[in-house]
A and B are shown apart, each in its own frame.
Chain A
């Protein structure tokens, strides 16, 4: 008895009850479809969150002075020697080809005052040309430009919420007070750009000035708080981090990936992933029980048939294989339809996106990173591979018991009730 023949018989057996087979396959395909769509949407959402977080904060990989995380302030500054070393590492081939760009920054806190109001701000000293392609703020300019051409008054870029709070607009003058050593430094600036990220913490508290200006005001030429590094692919963060850390050796700096620099975001994504696994698992178990039910019923109502086969000398292994083939064909049929439909939906959502606002959802934020209501599906080969293995595993589990039952049918069953 060849495998082909077994499959043919199994296929024919399946269609002895077309309605039942179709319904079961349909339920299973709905389960698989949901799996694919949910994986795509949740990965897509996470991907977007990572991208926003990375662009808003300190890049895929960040080099910062040791201890900067425990004590924020102007005292923890990267030495000029370390900054030079970082620049050299970034130019090395194995790193350079994975890096899209890097941005040196100096961070201090200050008090920003307009004619109407005053508020505390986080001041980022940045080099505009280095930020433009990678970080979020230049991308979200709604008026003016990102630290555009220098006028006589040094430029500052503020968030929309901050601008409203201080009642300032493009061209308005503001005073930035910062501590420099034991003294308070006041600096007159002109608003050159306004950004709106939609994140109230950012739009209301972050301002950007030119790195060289800031270093000059604080009388700390060359001082940096960190160097943000943006990569071609987010997956390269860990290998690149390791290379940079090795190359920098014993210098008093720490090299972190975004997972370490934004631990809350990383943890949220992991927890959300775990929740999705449970959800997908439960849905698949539900539909697999449907397959089990169908195959088991098919086996139990055919006791006489299996008894006859046994009496005719068909080996129990082959009976078991035949039933297994029925179950697997059913799984493949349902799984195939679900996979095809799921991938189709995934491609649609990858292009057009799913607007959760239509379902009554609204924008929310995690760890300070806003999650857009429009989600674009994202799937990668590894995810699909593992889901297929999982589905196949469930299919095998579902037919195990019915196949054993069928194989154990005694030949006497054939004559029972005659």
Chain B
């Protein structure tokens, strides 16, 4: 009985191909918009996590307890921090770990000066954890070799503020951990541009050794260890694992949702926006299905009466109409795939190029590139397709029940309708 009902439902659907196609197109347009939005949001949040977190922060960070949010230079990781970073790399789930020293100083050239965050890094470890070194637009990354001492990397905005370029020397003045005033001359080895105002205008990188010396710290001291996780989405779980497995006293392990709540907020916001979109598209699709099926049922009341008179069980009449609704939903999804596939391909492969209009902007402290690209969100697509079929079936229930209630006795009286 079942396959036959489905075949009949399918055939019934095409008795009025025009109506079917118009309804299917309406539902398809909504579904395509939904898939398009899902793809763009997925691309945006994935990129936000990738860039906002991998750029500078690292997926997990380790500090001395109480270091955040004050970031006082006195609160360094107790004991051998550099050694701890080496040990971290052997933990499963950790791709790389880089120790850092952080301080603050006044950077000046001639009569121009600006405040800047100073970050001491181990160059080759840093590049394996974060991606900011890819945004060096002039010069080169710092090197590990000892003869590279006394070099810094600065942001493009800071370089403009100070009016300096590659090879210029600048003076860094800071308060050292022993209370003295540290100052030294550095030469600019490279200039970076991340698109983030605060980073490009207020960050100076130098080697770990240089900054340790400037701040009067020891050679194994560090304030922060940035960790690259094998699975960024599982950073919170990794932080828990590190916390329990390290057994290192006086430290705090935090994953990126804690370190950058703005980014986590963005992800939450995009989810709630998508939820509203789902609701709207599904409700409109349900109304479209209901309207179409009511028309289809009411113009065929006599036919359903005949089917009942011939002995078809009401249950089967319901199933017949439901099969028609299901077929309509499937046709809608087919039309959606037809329109949507090229559109999705385009947004994922090429994206919307806004470069002529904007240089990009920052959202919650993350630079958004001026080319908006989508991402393949397979699970979300599948889920919303199933939800759409579900909504259609629910909307089709009333017409189906109505069709099964036709009284065959009234068949001949012409009173139907």
Given A120-B104, A364-B262, A264:B161 Cβ within 8 A = no
B162 contacts across to A, CB distance below 8 A: 73
From A116, A290, A292, A301, residue with most partner B Cβ within 10 Å: A290
Instruction: Judge whether A283 is part of the interface by a CB distance below 8 angstroms.
Output: yes
A277 within 8 A of B: no
Q: How far is the CA of A20 from the CA of B23 in the complex (A)?
A: 14
The secondary-structure label for the interface of chain B is helix
CA distance A165 to B104 in the complex (A): 12
Stretch at the interface among A27-35, A147-155, A313-321: A27-35
Residues in B with CB closer than 8 Å to A360 are 268, 271-272, 275
A289 touches B358 (CB 8 A): no
CA distance A329 to B223 in the complex (A): 71
The listed residue (B33, B116, B273, B291) touching A290 by CB distance below 8 A is B291
Q: Does A113 contact B (CB under 8 A)?
A: yes
Q: Are A290 and B26 in contact (CB-based, < 8 A)?
A: yes
B233, CB-defined interface residue at 8 Å: no
CB within 8 A of A71: which of B70, B161, B273?
B161
Q: Is B294 an interface residue (CB 8 A)?
A: yes
Within 8 A of A (CB), among B356-392: 357-358, 361-365
CA A283 – CA B283 in complex, angstroms?
Answer: 11
0/1 per residue, A106-134, Cβ < 8 Å to B?
00011101001111110000000000000
Answer whether residue B407 sits at the interface, using C-beta atoms and an 8 A cutoff.
no
A289, B295: Cβ atoms under 8 Å? no
Counting contact residues on chain A (CB < 8 A from B), the size range is: 35 or more
| A26–B163 alpha-carbon span in the complex (Å) | 64
Residues of B within 8 A of A120 (CB): 104-106, 114-117, 202
Q: Does B111 lie within 8 Å of A182, measured CB to CB?
A: yes
Q: Given A113-B175, A289-B22, A366-B362, A361–B160 Cβ distance below 8 Å?
A: no
- CA of A19 to CA of B287, assembled, Å: 12
Q: Bound state CA distance, A205 and B22, in angstroms? A: 58
22 contacts between A and B (CB under 8 A): A71-B163, A111-B105, A117-B73, A120-B114, A184-B173, A263-B358, A264-B358, A267-B358, A267-B361, A282-B29, A286-B26, A287-B284, A289-B22, A290-B288, A293-B22, A293-B26, A293-B288, A297-B295, A356-B269, A360-B268, A364-B363, A366-B363
* Interface of B toward A, CB cutoff 8 Å: 16, 18-19, 22-23, 25-27, 29-30, 33, 37, 69-73, 104-106, 108, 110-117, 160-163, 173-175, 197-198, 202, 261-262, 264-266, 268-269, 271-273, 275-277, 280-281, 283-284, 287-288, 290-292, 294-295, 298-299, 354, 357-358, 361-365
Interface on A for B, CB 8 Å cutoff? 19-20, 23-24, 26-27, 30-31, 34, 70-75, 109-111, 113, 116-121, 161, 164-165, 167, 177-179, 181-182, 184, 201, 205, 263-265, 267-268, 270-271, 278-279, 282-283, 285-287, 289-290, 292-294, 296-297, 300-301, 356, 359-368
